Amino acid sequence: MNKISVLGAGTFGISLARLLANKGFEVTVYVHNETKAQLLRETNRHERFKDVLLPSSIVYTSDLKEAFKDKEMIVYAIPSTSIREVATLSKEYVEDGQYIVNVAKGMEKDSLLTLTEVIDDVYQNKSLKYVVLSGPTHAEEVIKDMPTAIVAASKDVEAAKVVQETFSVDFFRVYTNEDIRGIEICGALKNIMAIAAGLSDGLGFGDNAKAALITRGLQEIKRLGTKMGCQNDTFFGLAGIGDLIVTCTSIHSRNNCFGHLLGEGKTIEEAKKEIGMVVEGLNALPAAIELADKYNVEMPITSMLSKIVYEGLDPYVGVNQLFKRELKSE
């Protein structure tokens, strides 16, 4: 493994590009906007990490063909809503045998596919090796070389091990897993629960309420995931409870902050504008509701959030309705 492209110059994509470049790989970053690509070339600094000097060896391009040409590994680090578009645009450039590593989190609204399934649906190339890299990994900490653990998941165990070896450094520990769908389900749904946890904070509720939302939220994720054929253990690992905890509690979590703003009385548009980045929990919400209905799974937190977002339910009323539901055993 020598040449790697990272598709997307967001905070996590740039953090991974820096990690890989510092490890000695030839790294290319695909930036959809040529003006932003040129700024990165000139400054070697990212707009959200201005105090961090990026390796001068990183190549920035707005040309998808260049991003794919002669690369051994392609890392998808773009918003979930752009996955199918970028896969479609790059289909003619993908090369046999390439490793396709997805670090984006979400699900496609209309097809109900996980993001790796979306890429595979577009490429239709059996020679490609698909791996998902997921877990509690805030870019704001990875960029500072702070200790982080993550999971590389693939149906192809050897492919997962290659990605494990590629990304592992002293501060970034990678485990392997074969439950690729379970890992992606966790990554998509935990963002929904993070909005709910932030909502609770914004309403002025305490730690008890947040703990209840996190633990019951995990149950919702697990119930749906196991119905979809995912492994039970996945939900209690780094990509499950690990990512759920960090996303529901961290100041770096845009989904949590978005929920907090809603709880404080901001409108959805006002909250999105203030966050200034993609709120993946919002994008995953419609698919989660449809999947819950398809698999006949009870998901009260997800349902409550959907009513707040799409039906204008008052957040305070929504949270209280959760606690007034029929009593049951844990």
Residues 107 and 288: their CA atoms lie apart, in Å, by 8
Token representation of residue 177: 């897993």
Question: Helix, strand or coil for residue 213?
Answer: helix
Q: Count CA atoms within 13 Å of residue 205 on its CB side.
A: 23
Q: At what angle do helices 280-294 and 207-227 cross, to 10 degrees?
A: 50
In Å, what is the CA distance from 299 to each residue of 7, 113, 223, 293?
Answer: 33, 19, 8, 9
The closest alpha carbon to 230, from 293, 278, 170, 177, belongs to: 177
Paired residues of 175 in beta bridges: 151
Quick check: is 294 catalytic? no
Question: Helix, strand or coil for residue 252?
Answer: coil
Residues 124 and 117: their CA atoms lie apart, in Å, by 10
Within 10 Å of residue 241's Cβ, how many Cβ atoms? Answer: 20
Q: At what angle do helices 254-263 and 280-294 cross, to 10 degrees?
A: 90
- At position 121, the amino acid (one-letter code) is D
Residues 28 and 46: their CA atoms lie apart, in Å, by 15
Catalytic residue among 105, 129, 190, 222: 190
- Residues with catalytic roles: 190
